[in-house]
Amino acid sequence: MQTRLFLGIDTSYYTCSLALVDEAGRLLEDQRRPLAVALGQRGVAPQEAVWAHLNALPQLAEPVLRTHGRAVAAVAASVKPRPVEGSYLPPFRVGEGFGRALAAALGVPFYPTTHQEMHIQAGLWSADKPPQGHAFLAVHLSGGTTELVRVTRRPGGFAEELLGGTQDLHAGQFVDRVGVALGLPFPAGPHLERLAASGVPGRVALPSAVRGYTLSFSGPESAAQRLVGKAEPADLALAVLHAVARSLEKWLLHAMEETGLREVLVVGGVAANQILRERLRQRLEHPAVGARLAFAQPQYSTDNAVGTALLAREIAGAAGVTG
């Protein structure tokens, strides 16, 4: 009997991605193409992202389908950023349209999912010690989302309850804006991390603003911008990452007290940062706090379609799809 395969598509503002997993959850294909951003710019316009995906997605898909197309049992795509009413970004329509057409041509089901659910599923699959409880907290940190959700497992995946988010800038925007101001390429996260590695802790301090389940990065970003050209770049880069970490510490301490949950999954591109991970582990896994943190592996923290393919597998299994 032929092994069933599950295809996932994700078309974000940062990366065009396509992935394939088998029914055991083994990764067979992980194809990605970052969207080009000119030096000094802080992203791409919606029409530019749509055009980039229209060009890249068929090129990524063709060799995968030539090899594995006959075994594909279901297709999933991220059709919007988050699983809430009104969540919408134009680039995701490219992946949705391609996925729906492909599923119809192959005669297999199409499953719409979201970019945030992709990140959470990729984290559950790739983390060294993923959450084991029926419910857990998840933090999604990226250039387009900074949210804290309560995740509850269910057949075919999980349900999310939004607990809080940012009232202005996202964590990735904070990192990117300061990084670009320091002359770093966009997305600035990996470059800022390398720069921060030689920074001196405490030499530059930035504020953090958290009130209950709401946090803000506009104040820290403004404070950081005032120090560009005055503070040592490495010290400022480290201060940015520590400001993000302090905000998350306060946020999660409040959430753990309110919900009683101690397992936390951290996903999204910003979560790939090792300085941020180490700081959070040091503070929140202290015996006095008792949190159990899990992080997606760095290559699956950034935008990918692996989580989408895994969701296709989960949904198909719950629906009893035989292929």
Confidence check: pLDDT of 45 > 90: no
**What DSSP element (H or E) covers 18?**
strand 15-22
Query: Domain of 91?
Result: 5-121+302-319
One domain, residues 82 and 142 = no
DSSP conformation letters of 262-284: -EEEEESGGGG-HHHHHHHHHHH
Q: Are residues 117 and 169 in the same domain?
A: no
Indicate whether 84 and 150 sit together in one domain.
no
Query: pLDDT (tens digit, 9 = 90+) per residue, 294-318?
Result: 999 999 999 999 999 999 999 999 9
Rounded to whole angstroms, how far apart are CA atoms 35 and 188? 14
Q: Are residues 232 and 187 in the same domain?
A: yes
**Count of domains observed in the chain:** 2
pTM of the model: 0.94
Residue 38 burial (C-beta neighbours within 10 Å; 0-12, 13-18, 19+): exposed
pLDDT at position 212 is 95
The CATH number of whichever domain residue 48 belongs to comes to: 3.30.420.40
Question: What does the alpha-carbon distance between residue 37 and residue 179 come to, in Å, rounded to a whole number?
Answer: 14
**Which token pair is 273?**
């940062």
Please provide residue 115's backbone torsions phi and psi, each rounded to the nearest 5 degrees.
-65, -40
Q: Encode pLDDT of 60-85 as tens digits.
A: 999 999 999 999 999 999 999 999 88
Q: Answer whether residue 52 shows pLDDT above 70.
A: yes
Tell me the three state secondary structure of residue 95: helix
| Token duo for residue 294 | 């899990």
- Kindly state the helix (H) or strand (E) to which residue 257 belongs, with its residue range: helix 233-259
pLDDT at 42: 67
Transcribe 158-205 into DSSP letters: EEEEEEEEESS--HHHHHHHHHHHTTPPSS-HHHHHHHHTTPPTTSS-
Per DSSP, 10 falls in state E
Same domain, 107 and 132: no
Claim to verify: residue 262 and residue 135 sit in the same structural domain = yes
| 59 and 94, same domain (yes or no) | yes
Contact 61, 77 (CB under 8 A): no
What is the overall mean pLDDT for the chain?
Answer: 95
pLDDT tens for each residue of 221-259: 999 999 999 999 999 999 999 999 999 999 999 999 999
Helix, strand and coil percent figures for the chain, each rounded to 5 = 45, 25, 30
Do 99 and 145 lie in one domain? The reply is no
Determine what percent of the chain is predicted with pLDDT higher than 90.
90
Mark whether 235 and 312 lie in a shared domain: no
d(CA 242, CA 199): 11
189 and 230 inside one domain: yes
Q: Residues 117, 246: one domain?
A: no
- Environment class of residue 132 by beta-carbon count within 10 Å: exposed (0-12), middle (13-18) or buried (19+)? exposed
Helix (H, G, I), strand (E, B) or coil at 308: helix
Instruction: Please tell me whether residues 136 and 78 are part of one structural domain.
Output: no
pLDDT band of residue 3 (cuts 50, 70, 90) is: confident
Gyration radius (Cα) of the chain, Å: 20
Distance in angstroms (rounded) separating the CA atoms of residues 233 and 231: 6
Strand order in the sheet with 5-11: 27-34, 15-22, 5-11, 72-80, 110-114
Q: Which of 26-40, 50-64, 114-128 comes out lowest in average pLDDT?
A: 26-40
- Residue in the block written with tokens 């900074």: 146
